[in-house]
Every structure is written in C-alpha cells, then in structure tokens.
C-alpha cells in the first residue's frame, strides 16, 4: 500500500521568462512590432530639447508603430522601420525611446 504522499505526484511547471511589457527600445528583441509610449529626454536642459525635436522630425512620436530591424554589435547603432522608412539611430538616442510590445495590448 502506498502512502498518500507517494500516490500524489506534484508537477512543478517551469516559469517562463516574462518580458516586461514596457521597455527601452535598446532592450527589445529584433523583429517585434512596438508602439512608442514616450521619449525621455532627461533634464529640461538644452540637449534634451534637441533630442526630442530630432526624434519628432524623424517621425518617432508617442503612438507611432516602429519595428526594430537590426542592432549593431559593440554598442553600435539601431536600425528601425518607422512609417515604412528605414532609419538608423545611435544607442544613446534609442535608449530614450520608451516602447510597449504591440502584441501585449
């Protein structure tokens, strides 16, 4: 006769690694559709204003859909698709772009 502990098998499920829904653009995987939530420019100083304006001129504004296409190794630039146009931006600028995965909504 088996004890009640032997007869009941407990199966532990492995936890999947869950990606956060909100990320910086540089932290997102390649090939995923993303939606821009905001652009962090840091301080309200002179340089932050120019970064935000430059990204807006490139079409990277809150609500727009982007696709991360490539990421160069060794802290190189990031290649993205915005409104059908291929853009290459530096990692410093890409780190300021806060996005959410389109599939998670």
- Whether the Cβ atoms of residue 28 and residue 102 lie closer than 8 Å to each other: no
Cα separation of 40 and 48, whole Å? Answer: 8
The pTM of this model reads 0.72
Q: Would the pLDDT of 6 be above 70? A: no
Model confidence pLDDT, tens digit, residues 47-56: 567 888 889 9
Burial pattern 8-41, b for ≥16 Cβ within 10 A else e, equals eeeeeeeeeeeeeeebebbebeeeeebebeebeb
- Please give the domain boundaries of the chain with CATH numbers for all domains: 23-104 (2.30.30.90)
Cα separation of 47 and 69, whole Å? Answer: 27
- Whether the Cβ atoms of residue 69 and residue 80 lie closer than 8 Å to each other: yes
Higher pLDDT, 89 or 12: 89
């Amino acid at each position: 006769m088996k004890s009640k502990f032997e007869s009941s098998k407990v199966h532990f499920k492995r936890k999947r690694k869950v990606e956060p829904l909100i990320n910086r653009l540089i932290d997102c995987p390649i090939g995923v559709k993303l939606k821009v939530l905001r652009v962090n420019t840091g301080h309200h100083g002179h340089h932050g204003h120019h970064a935000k304006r430059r990204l807006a001129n490139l079409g990277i504004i809150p609500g727009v859909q982007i696709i991360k296409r490539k990421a160069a190794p060794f802290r190189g630039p990031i290649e993205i698709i915005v409104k059908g146009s291929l853009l290459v931006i530096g990692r410093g600028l890409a780190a300021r772009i806060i996005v959410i995965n389109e599939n998670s909504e």
